[in-house]
Amino acid sequence: MKIVLQCWSSHDDTCGCDYALVDLTPRLARLVLRRIRVFRRLNAKDTGLSDMRWWNCDAVYFSPWGSDTSDAPDEKETERVERAISMKKGEEIVEVADAFALGDKMEARTECDRMTVREDGVSFSCIPKHTDVRITTGTIAVELVERAAAGDRTSVGRRQQRRGRAA
């Protein structure tokens, strides 16, 4: 399943990293779940642990309007991607079709890409190339990761969004 996450920046500019695309395959989901179990075991021994981070490049950072280092993407491609990833106010995650692909010139160049696991799920972070800006994503809830690990193809992204609004 493919997930698009909202991104936040440590600076006013997202440097072409407005969103992150994660292909949450069963293999990646099992890796995330294994890491969450490690986190939970260590957290049980030391509650001062807030998260754990691993170097990881599974998130592809992008902007439908183009990265800072590229010319603007084709207008039709931008509109197609905007429709596919439309999020309502307060949402930070949306499931997209498996066929979803980024248009030319949308992908940002990043470094220091990481996966961060916590008790409740997984998020990602990076630094856009040639900047000191920190980008972080929304969190994929553990329940969604579990469904992905099991190969469940139901509309779990929408369920997670509804649950987030009710909270």
Taking the C-alpha atoms of residue 145 and residue 163, their distance in angstroms, rounded to an integer, is: 15
- pLDDT tens, position by position, for the chain (167 residues)? 999 999 999 999 899 999 999 999 999 999 999 999 999 999 999 999 999 999 999 999 999 987 665 577 788 888 889 888 988 777 899 999 999 999 778 999 999 999 999 999 999 999 999 999 999 999 999 999 999 999 876 554 444 444 444 43
Residue-range domain boundaries for the chain? 2-166
pTM: 0.85
- Tokens standing for residue 32: 């995330």
Burial class (CB in 10 A: 0-12, 13-18, 19+), 68: middle
